[in-house]
Amino acid sequence: MNRRIMQLTDWTFKACDDEEWLAAKVPGTVHTDLLRHGRIPHPFKGTNEHRLQWMDKKDWEYEAHFEVEETLLAMSNLELVFEGLDTYADIEVNGVRVLSTNNMFLRWVVDVKPYLKPSHNTLQVRFRSPIREDMPKVEKRGYNFPAANDQSELGEIGEHHLSVYARKAPYHYGWDWGPRFVTSGIWRDVYLQGWKGARIQDLYVEQVRVTQEQANLAAHLEIESEVACDGVILLSNGEQVWESKVSLLPGINARSLSIVISQPKLWWSRGLGEAHRYSFTAQLVVEGNTVARSEVKVGLRQIRLVREEDSYGTSFYFELNGVPVFAKGANHIPNDSFLPDITEERYRYEVKTAVASNMNMLRVWGGGIYEPDLFYDLCDEHGILVWQDFLFACSMYPGDEAFLQNVRLEAEYNVKRLRNHACIALWCGNNEIDVAWGHYEEKLGWGWKQNYTQAQREEMWTAYERIFHQLLPEVVAAYAPHTDYWASSPMEDITGDASQHARYSSTRGDMHYWGVWHALEPIENYNVTIGRFMSEYGFQSFPERKTVEAYAESSDMDLMSEVMKAHQKTGSGNDKMRTYMERYLRLPTDFYGFIYMSQIMQAEAMKAAIEAHRRHRPLCMGTLYWQLNDCWPVASWSGVDYYGRWKAMQFFAKKGFKDVMLSIDGTSHTQADLYICSDALSTFHGELEWSLYRFDGECLRVEKRQVTGEANASTKLLTLVYKEWLEGMDPAQVVLKARLLSNGEIVDEKLHYMLPATELALMKPQITITEVEGAERATFTLMTDVLAKYVWLEHEVEGYMSDNYFDLIPGIPYEVAFQPRDSQAAALGKEQITIHSMTDYC
């Protein structure tokens, strides 16, 4: 082929005002390079974040020395390619300025053939301080844009909100779960690329109309040619070949082929079918020789956001290949504050966690990054739909022409880069800006607009509309015409009046519900405040003890210590956890008990929310909790902590997202309503069994009933009135166990208590564990002498159990299997497991 690549990996770096050069790792950041050399303490430990804010005020430079092999230098075109530069950078090749950059989210390509030689080449990348670069912009404007999570005071720059000016990951400037590390560095690959003759710059397989009978597609190619020539385009999917003659002119040539595939194998999200993908290969053949080639993997599917009038208001759900999909999943944030530290294994682990948790959608949230192709490839492979935000969150933004042009280039590049991925279900303009500003009614919003004059308000809202109502939808329509666009999350609709902005009473659009947690509303309100699509809601907890010990010393194990405050980014978070514990659980006896009980409280809250959302189908057609992951070890809303350790809520979410789930609603405190929530496309026929057990294990009552659950729907099966069901038995000493069976096999089972945990007559259990001989993976059976609540199996090997934080009824064995994170890890034995339960801590 007429293309060669040479990676540039041998780098040194220093602060521009220093003399000493140090070895650098590229891709990387200044923070991680200095850490490797022991020049700074670990940013995540203790309160070190506070002591490292000086770094973003400096300019930094990276330098590479390299030779260019003769075959590469002989290429008629030789380019320097940066897949990602963070963010303001000036690039010189052998002393000649060839490029200046101002956007972290763009791929930068520059012709360097005139400047390279066989040996003694020098490449310099000088990063200008994003703080010093953008400070004059806010000073010139004379007032701050609102930026709710810009931790400028921690960054030692007063009240100046600079994050809005840089096209750089917003969370770098701090968030209410993340630290403030405003990084600089070559954060993605950098290489030399040589080519001659012609190349295929882009191959886009447009899915014009896809049904189970036929896929009507159009393959769009961008071909760059050095000379005018005639040739043939051959396109193959491994089963069929399409051919088209082509005449090329020098420069960029756009060519298209119409494609029809009969009886195509469709791509389905997890739970609905196979996530099948075709490999489409395009070749440019000139005079019998293949001179250029490109390949993409594409899952064929028809997906749309359905917003139609119905009996509730206006629907908001995704339809995949004609099937309404109830979206189950979470919000995804970047996996690290230092992006080059995110390995392929970490991405694989996250997506496999989503699959293991029975999810079918992740929302890539607007305060992070456009993830690398690997992330979307994994979502394609495993059938995980992606709600993709553009990278704007919780801030107002400038509207000058330079900023808008920068945004347009960013949007065009990333929409084109990601448009072949079957997983992309939606492009969303921003996170929470419409609802935060509340333009059309004075009392709406977060109190932002009240800080500005009428002229300033109009200026900011005009900029908002230009970006989110004009520019971004234009880009999506032009480059991904079959993918829906939604301007802001949450929002009711673009109406141009007060009905545009999301409310908790909304019967259309999507909803972020934070009454539970931020407003300290009762958890029962999850069953009351339900929107058409719950794209955010959440509840905080601490990570487990091992994770806390990674950033704190034993002397810091106190909620009021400076370290704990530094790792609780929402100031009132610990108080809120305590308040909810007092209401629903019991207050722990020590700090480690608080960690454990915080996870239990979070899990119960998320269980209540997820099941309420699923029970209320089709009013509600999506539940994406905040948040799946963390970017550093911290107390947060995540279900999986920074080190990949599942919190209690992740196990509860796994159960709540089962494709066929049994749900027990006891919101009224006087009765239990039993439902089957099914995502299966066939009707469920089976048996419902419900039993009453005393805490000592005696079975007091058993009943059974044949039941039917509608396909792809929520069906109420039974109501148990406590007074009638208990018949005078003490509700503080009994538990209801319900099981859903099909052909004698357990499909799902749930336990239900008639009183909150604060009123249960719990005794300290004796729990035994035995290893199951001959099992394919480490498997254990647990038994208890009295009811054991929230049994946590703490294990020394990294990974997760098939279930954890569960309740045990005496006399009923419970089996769990262990999934190691590393397939090469040593087997887990029972001696490496420590068993905890609620009575150990309160």
Q: Are residues 53 and 164 in the same domain?
A: yes
Q: What would the pLDDT profile of 261-294 be if each residue is shown by its tens digit?
A: 999 999 999 999 999 999 999 999 999 999 999 9
The tokens for 380 are 């394609």
Q: Are residues 34 and 173 in the same domain?
A: yes
Find, among 414, 400, 448, the residue nearest to 145 by Cα: 448
Burial of 362 (0-12, 13-18, 19+ CB in 10 A): buried
Stretch 633-643: mean pLDDT, rounded?
Answer: 98
Mean pLDDT of 303-321: 97
Give a yes or no: residue 104 inside a domain: yes
Q: For residues 109 and 240, what is the distance between their CA atoms, to the nearest angstrom?
A: 35
Tokens of 692: 């009453």
For 251, counting Cβ atoms within 10 Å of its Cβ (0-12 exposed, 13-18 middle, 19+ buried), the class is exposed
Quickly list DSSP for 401-431: HHHHHHHHHHHHHHHHHHTT-TTEEEEE--B
- The answer to whether residue 211 sits within a structural domain is yes
pLDDT score at 597: 97
Cβ-proximal residues to 771 (8 Å cutoff; 6+ apart), any chain: 778, 779, 780, 829, 830
pLDDT band at 1 (very low <50, low <70, confident <90, very high): low
Nearest to 116 by CA among 92, 90, 83, 100: 92
Q: What is the count of structural domains for the chain?
A: 4
- For residue 89, give its domain range: 3-192
If one counts every other C-beta atom within 10 angstroms of the C-beta of residue 111, the result is 12
Residue 570 in this model has a pLDDT that exceeds 60: yes
> Has residue 577 been placed in a domain?
no
Q: For the domain that residue 112 is a member of, what is the CATH number?
A: 2.60.120.260
Average pLDDT over residues 115-141: 96
Bond from prior residue into 602 cis (ω within 30 degrees of 0): no
State whether 162 and 250 are in the same domain.
Answer: no
In a domain, 68, yes or no: yes
Give the three-class secondary structure for 7.
strand
Does 117 lie in the same domain as 29? Answer: yes
Whether residue 207 sits in one domain with residue 176: no
Contact 465, 459 (CB under 8 A): no
**Residue 367 covered by a domain:** no
Two tokens, residue 476: 């999506």
Tokens standing for 172? 């770098």
pLDDT of residue 2: 81
Q: Write out pLDDT tens, residues 767-800.
A: 999 999 988 899 999 999 999 999 999 999 999 9
Taking the whole predicted model, whether its pTM rises above 0.85 is answered as: yes
Structure confidence at residue 334 (pLDDT)? 98
Q: What are phi and psi of 363, to 5 degrees?
A: -100, 115
Q: What pLDDT digit, counting tens, does each position of 655-714 carry?
A: 999 999 999 999 988 999 999 999 999 999 999 999 999 999 999 999 999 999 999 999
Same domain for 57 and 185? yes
CB atoms near residue 712 (< 10 Å): 18
pLDDT above 60 (res 332): yes
- Same domain? For 52 and 201 the reply is no
Please choose, from the candidates 389, 351, 355, 331, the residue with its C-alpha nearest in 3D space to the C-alpha of residue 535. Answer: 331
Q: Is residue 265 part of a domain?
A: yes
Residue range 408-426: mean pLDDT, rounded: 98
Give the pLDDT mean for 829-837.
Answer: 96
Give the CATH number, domain containing residue 269.
Answer: 2.60.40.10
Q: Is residue 429 part of a domain?
A: no
CA 379 distance to own-chain centroid: 11
Q: Catalogue the E-assigned strands of 477-518.
A: 484-486, 511-512
Does residue 511 lie within any of the structural domains? no
Residues in the chain: 842
- Cβ neighbours of 234 (radius 10 Å): 17
Q: Which of 165, 192, 219 is the last residue of a domain?
A: 192
The C-alpha angle 794, 798, 800, rounded to 5 degrees, equals 65
Q: What pLDDT score does 270 carry?
A: 98
Q: How far apart are CA 734 and CA 19, in angstroms?
A: 73
- CB proximity list for 220: less than 8 A, separation 6 or greater: 202, 203, 204, 205, 206, 254, 255, 256
Residue from 603, 598, 506, 511 nearest 547 by CA: 598
The last residue of one of the domains, among 697, 729, 761, is 761
Q: Measured between alpha carbons, how far is 227 from 77 in angstroms, rounded to an integer?
A: 13
Nearest to 499 by CA among 407, 434, 421: 434
pLDDT digits (tens, 9 = 90+) for 704-762: 999 999 999 999 999 999 999 888 899 999 999 999 999 999 999 999 999 999 999 99
Does one domain contain both 114 and 22? yes
815 and 706 together in one domain: no
Please give the C-alpha separations between residue 388 and each of 87, 196, 610, 749, in angstroms, as whole numbers: 22, 36, 21, 34
Instruction: Please check whether residue 201 is in contact with residue 444, taking contact to mean a CB–CB distance below 8 angstroms.
Output: no
Q: At which of 245, 269, 298 does a domain end?
A: 298
pLDDT (0 to 100) of residue 825: 78
Give percent of the chain with pLDDT exceeding 90: 96
> Cis before residue 490, ω within 30 degrees of 0?
yes
> Among 240, 242, 327, which residue's Cα sits nearest to residue 283?
242
Q: What is the pLDDT of residue 135?
A: 96
**pLDDT of 826 over the 80 cut:** no
Provide mean pLDDT across the span 641-648: 98
- Per the prediction, the chain carries an average pLDDT of 96
- Paired with 491 in beta bridges are 510
Which residues does 835 contact at the CB level (< 8 Å), separation at least 6?
767, 769, 782, 791, 792, 793, 794
Q: Same domain for 163 and 68?
A: yes
Mean pLDDT of the 11-23 span: 97
